[in-house]
Amino acid sequence: MSRWRDEARAALALYAEDARMHGARPLSYTDLAVMLGKPPSAARRLSPLLGALRQECLARGLPDLCAMIVAAGTDMPSRKSFDTLSGTWCDTGLDAAGVRAEQAALRAVDWTRI
């Protein structure tokens, strides 16, 4: 699990750097993979990293950054992430409106402090 925690911390740091330069914005799964120095094809295998990233954000008292990792050409996480037992995004209890609220909370974060 340490590998994923370390990658989640790196992803958070890289996102914060990007947000300081460009403002908090959605990134595609491919964008995240490339940002982490992985090939674009690694985007399909990010699930364990996203779970660790969610936990890292929770531990730091941050909104869930995974809400900003979206399907290419959209402003929402993948449709598959809503195909859960609870019918909510990644079983978080959030519907599409809740994800948008989480994205708004992420836009309000002072990324210079991360």
Structure-block tokens of residue 2: 């340490």
Are residues 68 and 103 in contact, defined by beta-carbon separation less than 8 angstroms? yes
pLDDT of residue 2: 83
Q: Which domain holds residue 50?
A: 2-113
Structure-block tokens of residue 58: 């929770």
Ramachandran angles phi, psi of 113, nearest 5°: -95, 0
Mean pLDDT by 10 residues, the chain (114 residues): 89 97 96 96 94 96 97 93 90 95 98 94
Q: Which two structure tokens, joined as six digits, stand for 22?
A: 């460009």
Number of domains into which the chain is organized = 1
Q: What is the pLDDT of residue 102?
A: 97
Model pTM score: 0.92
